[in-house]
């Protein structure tokens, strides 16, 4: 924390371990922005009950009887 502010990031494994050599391999993404980008499409998918039902039926999952 810096000045009582908390900063959240998603980071690469190489970044955490201190093993990354190249800038492309060690990365840090701000969590709020990343989560915001993912949340909207995820909510749209999960709100579409027909699509979920179709996917489950199409997967031919065995029922637990």
Tell me the per-residue pLDDT of 23-64, one tens digit each, with 9 for 90 and over.
556 678 899 999 999 999 999 989 999 988 988 888 876 555
Residue 65 has pLDDT above 60, yes or no: no
User: For residue 61, what pLDDT is reported?
Assistant: 63
Q: How confident is the model at residue 21 (pLDDT cuts 50, 70, 90)?
A: low
Q: How many CB atoms lie within 10 A of CB 31?
A: 13
Supply the pTM of this predicted model. Answer: 0.49
User: For residue 10, what pLDDT is reported?
Assistant: 82
- Hey, is 2 helix, strand or coil? strand
Contact between 30 and 12 under an 8 Å Cβ cutoff? The reply is: no
User: For residue 27, what pLDDT is reported?
Assistant: 75
């Amino acid at each position: 924390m810096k000045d009582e502010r908390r900063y959240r990031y998603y980071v690469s494994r190489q970044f955490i371990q201190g093993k990354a050599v190249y800038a492309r391999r060690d990365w840090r993404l701000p969590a709020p922005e990343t989560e915001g980008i993912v949340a909207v499409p995820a909510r749209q998918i999960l709100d579409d009950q027909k699509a979920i039902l179709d996917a489950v039926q199409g997967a031919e999952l065995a029922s637990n009887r």
